[in-house]
Amino acid sequence: MESPASPDFYAAISTVSVAQICRSVGYTSARPSTLRALSDIAVRYLLSIGRLCAASAASHNRTDCNLLDLVLSLETLYSTRGFSGGSDPTRPLLESVVLKELMSKSMPSSVPVKTSSTGTSSNLCLPTFTKHLSKHNDVFHIVKDKNGEGKIGEHLRFNPSLKSYEARTEAVAHVIKCLGNLIPGIRNELYPVTLAFGVPPFFSLERAAAPYFGIKAYGVHMNGYVEIDSEMFLWVAKRSEDKPTFPGMFDHIVAGGLVCVLNSL
């Protein structure tokens, strides 16, 4: 029988996940106590769903849960405030109002960053960050669609005067320097900004700024394991407390981002 992992391990994983969610919706910092509280809420919510799914499967003489068990579990959690169609036992579960409501809760709208001469984009900025870039109109232009609504079809373009890779890279570096503490943990390493792995970059960007621009970043990760008494054990490293991102958290034993001067061999 496998030994259960330490509660600290699960807490660390959930805290990192919550921190990444917070960053994705525009937060740049948070108190550790706040992250722990949010993580605890998230874990309790997931445990509740898991228990309800297991109970639903068991009531139908099954050992494995399926999508219908999940929908029933979500409806149970929602039952305290009620929902349309909840009293109809013949309702199609995949048409559940609860399910549709959860699926409609999308992340905040993001602003595409055009990263090729043809206008193709694979990168997204949150509007909370884009407003800071809009102050540097010698580098970035926020272009709206023809209907002028600003939220639909809005995108971020480079100033047309920045015609080369070198010019765009230098201009963005100046903007990041001007943003100061808005982007913490400057590494002085550049990530290539490209449409796909191996494609020539449109410009290069300070590594710490990559999440704010929503670019695709690539890295190499390695894990190790050992067999003891016919059981497999995974090596788990712990990040230094001095790391600018996720200090003291569990990590791969070897990992690194592919910056401009490196390749994946």
Q: What is the model's pLDDT at position 108?
A: 46
Q: Which residue has the higher pLDDT, 109 or 235?
A: 235
Our separate counts of H helices and E strands in the chain read 7, 12
Look at residue 164 and give its three-state secondary structure.
coil
> Alpha helix (H) ranges present in 112-214?
127-133, 165-179, 210-213
How many residues appear in the chain? 265
pLDDT digits (tens, 9 = 90+) for 240-257: 888 877 788 888 888 888
* E strands present in the chain: 111-114, 121-125, 140-143, 155-158, 190-193, 203-206, 219-222, 225-228, 231-234, 237-238, 250-251, 254-257
pLDDT digits (tens, 9 = 90+) for 151-194: 445 677 888 898 899 999 999 999 999 988 888 888 889 999 88
- How far apart (Å, rounded) are the C-alpha atoms in residues 141 and 255? 36
Domain with CATH 1.10.20.10 in the chain: 7-104
Instruction: Please name the amino acid found at residue 62.
Output: R
- How far apart (Å, rounded) are the C-alpha atoms in residues 78 and 215? 36
Two structure tokens written together for 64: 């494995």
What is the chain's mean pLDDT, rounded? 78
For the structural domain made of 7-104, what CATH number should be given?
1.10.20.10
* Class of residue 74 by CB neighbours under 10 A (exposed 0-12, middle 13-18, buried 19+): buried
Q: What is the model's pLDDT at position 174?
A: 93
- How far apart (Å, rounded) are the C-alpha atoms in residues 112 and 17? 24
Q: What is the model's pLDDT at position 89?
A: 65
pLDDT digits (tens, 9 = 90+) for 73-103: 888 887 666 556 666 667 676 677 777 776 6
pLDDT digits (tens, 9 = 90+) for 12-35: 788 888 887 887 666 777 888 888
Residue 177, number of CB atoms within 10 A of its CB: 11
Please give the backbone phi and psi of residue 190, each rounded to the nearest 5 degrees, phi first: -105, 135
As a whole-number percent, the residues of the chain with pLDDT over 70 amount to 75
